[in-house]
């Protein structure tokens, strides 16, 4: 999509410096800077994914994992990083492999957005850099790795689709496997690719028909017919979808037309740590679109309109996957910004390019600091893992902010790192029938077998069946676990029980070893004492 031929001296003097290939390459490389310093990508679901990958790659070698987990390879539309991690883990190890994989994904997404800009405009517009911070939007912060990988591939595939408009047979040949690959990464990405490709062809065919003086209705019909035929190479995943959803899967759909949440997701498209700054950044993006009078290049105007309609119509839960609508919001912003036509006035174009570069730089710097702070919190809590025996069973409880609380600690699945590093069982994994290849079988754990039994929400946002520290201490089956791990919970709430022996404590975190002698003597212990002073614990700084 891009030409990175050595730039001549005259090209550096070109007033359109934002089209310089070194500038474009710099944007792609700098987009990954926030991920360089953290030891782990500080994304909410990422540790849980890592725990699943450890089972995927190590269940046949570990003497412990098979006791609690199964990993059954079969076809689902949600395999992106489960496949991508295999070569990465072999080359770099599991944890570093995930970090490198996420960095690659971010750069591929940036390259894809810029490739779309080049395909629709014929050159990179000055405002293109405004779109890149949306790569770190709320879906990415949540750690929806398979979905984000599918979107990275979708943008690049969409740019190629536009470029090959006049080579329909070559395009059909290429996009049959492309569609299957993107669907395999995540079915949502394949659906969005279909909407984008149809929009681009329909827009082009309609304009061609109108240039030939065809009536509006005739032009609409002809464009719709030709665009539908062009979509045939992208249809094979429909058969895969039927096979996937015809098995023993969960097909939960719900929370339709929650406009209160949809407004929240728009405001949260760049949600990270500093609410006023993040919402102001959304305001800047909207201002740029309005300043450009929403003049989008022809394929992008219709594409963004169709995606906006899809966003309004999507439920919050689709095919048992949560936040189906939220995942789309940042990418609609990104596509609209790369589709914005360049100002005709060259001075305005230069100002727009400088503003875009500053916006990208400021957001990247803020995300870098934010990710460093998240990582510091991770490392403080993960010191507890060093005190766990390999193959142990860990019941964890993590302080988890309410969903609508702007700042998150990104720790709700961090206990899964005990699985990664010690082949331990933890109660923070999720296993939705038909969505993941992981199955959990540990009936002794009772209701503390999987997510969200580890999440300790504030009382004002707890839902039926969610965790409560007092009730957990009263009811969790001591004989099924070896350790009790409290994470990001202040010392004033730490319990002091005879059968819970503190073996490590740090800042707002403590690890207890469960004394099973008390379990044998008295399965139902007396009510726990919360807030009393725990026994002396070796503090690890």
pLDDT digits (tens, 9 = 90+) for 288-329: 999 988 899 988 999 999 999 999 999 988 877 789 999 999
467-489 burial string, b = 16+ CB within 10 Å, else e?
bebeebbeebebebbbbbbbbbb
| pLDDT for the residue numbered 35 | 98
Does the structure show a pLDDT above 70 at 358?
yes
Count CB atoms within 10 A of the CB of residue 166: 7
Across all residues in the chain, what is the average pLDDT?
90
User: pLDDT tens, 211-234?
Assistant: 988 999 999 999 999 999 999 999
| pLDDT for the residue numbered 249 | 62
Q: How confident is the model at residue 337 (pLDDT cuts 50, 70, 90)?
A: very high
| pLDDT for the residue numbered 13 | 46
- Degrees to nearest 5, angle at CA 516 with 455 and 495: 45
Q: How confident is the model at residue 524 (pLDDT cuts 50, 70, 90)?
A: very low
Looking at per-residue pLDDT, the higher value among 521 and 519 belongs to: 519
CB 352 within 8 A of CB 165: no
| pLDDT for the residue numbered 2 | 56
| pTM for this entry | 0.91
Tokens of 381: 């809590």
Q: Residue 359 contacts by C-beta under 8 Å, 6 or more apart in sequence?
A: 129, 130, 133, 281, 284
CB 149 within 8 A of CB 85: no
Q: Tell me the average pLDDT across 240-264.
A: 80
| pLDDT for the residue numbered 386 | 97
Instruction: Report DSSP state, residue 491.
Output: G
Element (H, E) at 421: helix 417-422
Does the structure show a pLDDT above 90 at 243?
no
Count CB atoms within 10 A of the CB of residue 312: 11
Alpha helices in 212-251, H assignment, sequence order = 216-230, 236-245
pLDDT over 70 percentage in the chain: 91
Tokens of 104: 């690659």
Element (H, E) at 69: strand 69-71
* Helix-then-strand count for the chain, H and E: 19, 10
Q: How confident is the model at residue 14 (pLDDT cuts 50, 70, 90)?
A: low
| pLDDT for the residue numbered 221 | 93
């Amino acid at each position: 999509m891009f030409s990175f031929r050595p730039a001549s001296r005259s090209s550096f003097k070109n007033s359109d410096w934002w089209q310089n290939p070194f500038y474009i390459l710099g944007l792609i490389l700098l987009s990954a800077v926030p991920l360089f310093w953290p030891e782990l990508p500080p994304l909410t679901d990422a540790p849980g994914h890592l725990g699943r990958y450890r089972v995927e790659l190590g269940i046949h070698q570990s003497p412990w994992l098979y006791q609690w987990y199964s990993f059954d390879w079969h076809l689902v539309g949600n395999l992106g990083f489960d496949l991508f991690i295999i070569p990465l883990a072999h080359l770099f190890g599991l944890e570093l492999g995930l970090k490198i994989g996420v960095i690659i994904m971010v750069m591929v997404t940036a390259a894809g957005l810029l490739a779309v800009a080049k395909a629709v405009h014929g050159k990179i517009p000055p405002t293109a850099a405004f779109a890149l911070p949306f790569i770190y939007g709320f879906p990415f912060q949540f750690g929806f790795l398979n979905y984000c990988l599918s979107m990275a591939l979708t943008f690049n595939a969409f740019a190629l689709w536009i470029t090959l408009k006049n080579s329909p047979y070559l395009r059909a040949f290429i996009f049959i496997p492309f569609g299957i690959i993107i669907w395999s990464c995540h079915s949502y990405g394949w659906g969005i690719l279909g909407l984008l490709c149809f929009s681009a062809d329909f827009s082009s065919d309609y304009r061609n028909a109108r240039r030939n003086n065809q009536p509006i209705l005739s032009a609409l019909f002809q464009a719709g017919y030709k665009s539908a035929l062009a979509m045939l190479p992208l249809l094979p995943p429909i058969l895969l979808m039927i096979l996937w959803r015809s098995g023993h899967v969960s097909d939960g759909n719900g929370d339709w037309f929650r406009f209160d949440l949809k407004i929240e997701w728009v405001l949260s498209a760049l949600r990270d740590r500093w609410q006023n700054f993040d919402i102001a950044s959304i305001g800047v993006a909207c201002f740029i679109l309005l300043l450009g009078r929403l003049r989008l290049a022809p394929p992008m105007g219709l594409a963004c309109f169709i995606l906006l309609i899809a966003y309004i119509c999507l439920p919050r839960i689709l095919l048992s996957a949560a936040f189906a609508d939220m995942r789309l919001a940042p990418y609609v912003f990104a596509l609209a910004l790369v589709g914005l036509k360049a100002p005709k006035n060259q001075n305005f174009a230069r100002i727009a390019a400088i503003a875009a570069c500053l916006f990208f730089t400021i957001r990247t710097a803020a995300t870098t600091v934010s990710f460093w702070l998240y990582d510091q919190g991770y490392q403080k809590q993960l010191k507890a893992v060093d005190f766990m025996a390999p193959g142990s069973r860990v019941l964890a409880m993590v302080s988890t902010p309410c969903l609508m609380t702007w700042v998150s600690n990104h720790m709700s699945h961090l206990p899964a790192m005990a699985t990664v590093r010690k082949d331990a069982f933890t109660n923070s994994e999720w296993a939705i029938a038909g969505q993941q290849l992981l199955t959990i079988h540990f009936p002794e754990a009772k209701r503390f077998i999987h997510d969200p039994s580890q999440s300790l929400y504030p009382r004002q946002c707890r839902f039926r069946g969610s965790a409560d520290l007092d009730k957990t201490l009263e009811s969790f089956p001591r004989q099924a676990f070896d350790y009790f791990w409290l994470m990001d919970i202040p010392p004033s709430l730490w319990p002091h029980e005879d059968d819970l022996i503190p073996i490590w404590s740090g800042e707002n975190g403590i690890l207890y070893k469960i004394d099973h002698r008390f379990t044998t003597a008295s399965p139902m212990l007396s009510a726990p004492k919360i807030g009393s002073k725990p026994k002396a614990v070796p503090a690890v700084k």
